[in-house]
Amino acid sequence: MKKKLIILGGGLSGLAAAEKLSLKYDITIIEAAPFLGGLASNFEKDGKFIPRYYHHIIKSNKTTQEYVKNFGEVDSKKLKWQKIKIAIGFKSKLFNISEILGLLKFNYLNLFEKFRFGTFGLYTLFLMNPDNIDENLDAEKWLNKYAGKNVTKKIFHNLYSRNKFNIPLSRISAKQFANRLFEKEIYDYFTFPEGGYQKMIDNLQSKIELSGGKIMLSTKPDSIDLIEKIMKIDGKEIKYDLLINSIPFQEFVPITKGLPEEFKNQILKIKYCPAVSICFATEQFLDKKNYWINLFDERAHIVMQHSILNDTYSEKISWCLRYGGSEEDLELSEEQIKQDYTEVVKKYFPQCKINWVKVMRTKYGEPIYDIDYHKYMPGYKTPIEGLYFTGIQLTHPKIRNMNVALESGVKVAEIVLNDNQ
């Protein structure tokens, strides 16, 4: 008899864990949404799959590429890689800061500040080593030292405090921020597989089901007794041997019984930044250049021109998105979000003709990796026998992306196999 293993959450970490464990265990994935893939899921429009959020791959995301190849049936040689251009939008004007000329024209910074900004970029590219940064150092102190106070206030406060987590730079970990810069994300090559990630998710699902695994969609447990190992769903009791949790702790803790008080308080310290966005289609590119546009002092903070990476749809697809402060927008009506976010887009691209708009929102866009995160981040193993964790709650100080989510799924599978031989 195989042991019964329940995986809570059918995002990429849960799916990767399930795929690795499906031959050895009697697996059930329990997923609240009516679809798999979590934050990396997709929706169908005119016969094509579009990601709910932009989801590019960069060259250093080796695990994502491996999954896209093995499960998404994508021929790696056919992936089109490109260097992207980044702009900052301010007072209705765009400045292409990934080009020297654009940076020179960026009148938001004075000449000296441009110099500091430029040299900070070079420092992060060639000299910085995040491993040497103290866990307790905050991003403000670190940036003040290396980029200067003015650049920190004008650029990084907007980019990483207001627009990102909506907490002060002094509460953000310098190590996490440096790791983000160290990945050289914006200097790397970007791609997006034609056809997106739906095939990869479908094939993961098929493999799990062919090995005898079950997948329950649109399902949330009512309660979980972690000591007796009993999960209640729709009033029915399911007895299990092992449980892997990938859902946000704010959702997990309230339905559980048996967590030691201290551990419960520790994991509840993890807070999440929501993400609210519109995905929209236009006849033409907004501009043919900039994939990634950061907006300063606007209601929404990022415009991503997806079709610059994947121009295979009948229209051009983009997102306008807000992370920091988007808890204000989570409960707004779809019409209101469409109106407010479209207004931001129109401010920078007044000529654009929008064909359709779809609202996407999540309460759990990403854990807020604040300066104390390393103190309360739990491990893959927990104090409860048979209970394991996975997902992007556990991957600090790495950037949260599909790559680390998949890796965390693989890692928890290895730990479970090792513990239960």
Ligand X SMILES: Cc1cc2nc3c(=O)[nH]c(=O)nc-3n(C[C@H](O)[C@H](O)[C@H](O)COP(=O)(O)OP(=O)(O)OC[C@H]3O[C@@H](n4cnc5c(N)ncnc54)[C@H](O)[C@@H]3O)c2cc1C
Residues that bind ligand X (CB under 6 A): 8-14, 30-33, 38-40, 53-56, 64, 220, 246-247, 251, 275, 321, 364-366, 391-392, 400-403, 405
Q: Nearest-CA neighbor of 315 among 354, 278, 349? A: 354
Task: Return the bridge partners of 58, or none.
Answer: 190
**Nearest residue (CB) to ligand X, 72 versus 148:** 72
Q: How far is the CB of 197 from ligand X (least distance, A)?
A: 9
Between 56 and 229, name the residue whose CB sits nearer to ligand X.
56
Q: How far is the CB of 190 from ligand X (least distance, A)?
A: 9
Closest distance of CB 90 from ligand X, Å: 22
DSSP state letter for 24: T
* Per-residue tokens: 263: 């551990």
Cβ proximity to ligand X: between 4 and 220 the closer is 220
Nearest in space to 420 (alpha carbons), one of 11, 19, 26, 16 = 26
Q: Which residue's CB is nearer to ligand X, number 177 or number 323?
A: 323
Residues in the chain: 421
- Is 275 or 344 the residue whose CB approaches ligand X more closely? 275
User: Are 40 and 46 within 8 A, CB to CB?
Assistant: no
3-state secondary structure of 319: strand
Distance CA 10, CA 204 (A): 11
Give the sheet arrangement for strand 223-225, strand by strand.
Answer: 236-239, 230-233, 223-225, 256-257
Residue 39 or 357 having the CB closest to ligand X:
39
152 vs 256, beta carbon nearer ligand X? 256
Q: Specify the pairing of strand 189-191 against strand 290-295.
A: unpaired
- Report the nearest approach of ligand X to the CB of residue 174 (Å): 22
For residue 201, the minimal CB distance to ligand X (Å) is 11
Cβ neighbours of 344 (radius 10 Å) = 19
Instruction: Report, in angstroms and rounded to the nearest whole number, the Rg of the chain calculated over CA atoms.
Output: 22
Nearer Cβ to ligand X, position 109 or 345?
345
CB of 36 to ligand X, least distance (A): 7
In this structure, what are the phi and psi dihedrals at residue 106, rounded to the nearest 5 degrees? -75, 85
Q: State the minimum distance, in angstroms, from the CB of residue 82 to ligand X.
A: 14
Q: Which sign does the torsion angle of CA 98, 63, 180, 161 carry?
A: positive
Residue 222 is classified by DSSP as S
The DSSP letter of residue 289 is S
Q: Which of 384, 347, 143 lies closest to 244, judged by CA?
A: 384
CB of 35 to ligand X, least distance (A): 8
